[in-house]
Structure 1
Amino acid sequence: MGSDVLPCYVACDVSLSMADHMDELNTGLREFRGAVHADASVAGRVLCSVVGFGERPHVVQRLLPMDELAELPVPGPRTGTNFGPAFTFLRTVIDDDVLALERHRLHVHRPLVFFLSDGQPTDPLAWPPAFAALTDPGWVRRPRVVAFGVGDADALGAIGTFRTYLSRDGVRLGTALFASVMHVLSTSRPPTGRTLS
């Protein structure tokens, strides 16, 4: 593992409406893993966690090196697609993970969150405050958020604080993930001490 690391979180809607997209998304994750390993300047510097969410969020894979990247779970009969609990969960997980990395004296870049959904939250009033807390400028560990709209999604523009992609435009998930990672690693200043860049 490099002395500077970029924590990445793939947060994927695994509600029933996403069932037809999982093969495509898992292919994208495999492409992302392959692209990271093929680039010597990146391999060893990227850690990735996978979070699934429907009615409630859960960790599919904790933060690990890219060669251990898990596939997304098969959607079950979940009745909701609640964005708010996912954002609250991500803030807690990021806090815990970055603190653990800093204890190992690693220099940590500001995290990246890749938020994947078909864009139909079932908690339209609850998620904006949770998202505001996740992206609060006063929180030093706030992530850059890349939204990836799956299928006919068109409601994720407010969530992509860093970038927004739509699969219907022909953008492949693996390409979007790798491009976002490369942009951060090539443009953010190398971390000094244990501050986030």
Structure 2
Amino acid sequence: MVSDVLPCYIVCDVSFSMTDHIDEVNAGMREFRGVVHADRRATAQIRLCVVVFAERPLVLQPLLPALDQAEPIRPRQEPGSDFGSAFTLLRGTIERDVRSLKAQRIRVRRPLLFFISDGRATDQSWPFALAALAATASCPEMIAFGLGAVDQPVLDRIGTSRVFLERDGVRLGIALASSVARTALRPQHV
């Protein structure tokens, strides 16, 4: 049996309101990969999936070893940030990935979801989609990272484990690396 795998889902709002922050997101992803590369145990343990969304979600990178290079995240010229469709896509994606890993006889840690946004949802039903995701057997630990002029109460509802804010001087790559390290140290499996 392969050692524990920590499935990590980076979910990034790429709507028009996030355009000025996408370079920081890509820099944070490179910084995170550098941290993972420096730790051989982490290199073997961490799998990464990248999901982007604006008016609709898209799996930019399926769940792969964290060092596999993903294409850069690009903004979309879409005004909407449909959080609900992103959470719905994630629910199915996470459940499918966990089943697939278990079928390969891989021990799976509780997934980690790292949600990057200004928190300005344009759909009203997103709390129901978030609740449906939280009700699954593979419910991820949810961390939010706010960029720009954030709606903090919304990010507080999403980041049930932790919320980081760029305005507090926190770099995205460090927040992601510390969240993964903290989660990886816990002896949990799904």
Q: Same fold (TM over 0.5)?
A: yes
Q: Is the 8 A contact 1:28 1:172 kept in 2?
A: yes
1:4 aligns with 2:1: no
Ranges in structure 2 where 5+ consecutive residues have no aligned partner: none
Amino acid at match of 2:139: R
Deviations, residues 142-187 of structure 1 (Å, cap 9, x unaligned): 000110001121231111011110011110011111111111111x
Helix, strand or coil: the match of 2:67?
helix
Helix, strand or coil: the match of 2:51?
strand
RMSD of aligned alpha carbons: 1.4
Normalized per residue, the structure richer in helix is 2
Deviations, residues 98-131 of structure 1 (Å, cap 9, x unaligned): 11101110000010001000111001x2001100
The within-5 A match list for 1:29-40 is 29-40=29-40
Helix, strand or coil: the match of 2:26?
helix
Seq. identity, %: 51
2:86 & 2:7 partners in 1: Cα distance? 17
Helix, strand or coil: the match of 1:171?
coil
The within-5 A match list for 1:12-161 is 12-123=12-123, 125-136=124-135, 139-153=136-150, 154=152, 155-161=154-160
Helix, strand or coil: the match of 1:165?
strand
Aligned length: 188
Q: Is the 8 A contact 1:22 1:72 kept in 2?
A: no
Cα 1:149/1:82, change in 2 over 3 Å: same
2:169 & 2:45 partners in 1: Cα distance? 28
Helix, strand or coil: the match of 2:63?
strand
Amino acid at match of 2:6: L
2:170 equivalent in structure 1? 171
TM-score (norm 1): 0.91
Ranges in structure 1 where 5+ consecutive residues have no aligned partner: none
1:189 equivalent in structure 2? 187
Amino acid at match of 1:55: E
How far residue 189 of structure 1 moved from its aligned partner, in angstroms, is: 1.3
2:2 & 2:170 partners in 1: Cα distance? 30
Deviations, residues 21-51 of structure 1 (Å, cap 9, x unaligned): 1111100000001101111331210000100
Q: Is the 8 A contact 1:135 1:142 kept in 2?
A: yes
Amino acid at match of 1:97: D
Q: Is the 8 A contact 2:26 2:73 kept in 1?
A: no
1:64 & 1:72 partners in 2: Cα distance? 15
Q: Which moved more, 1:150-159 or 1:22-31?
A: 150-159
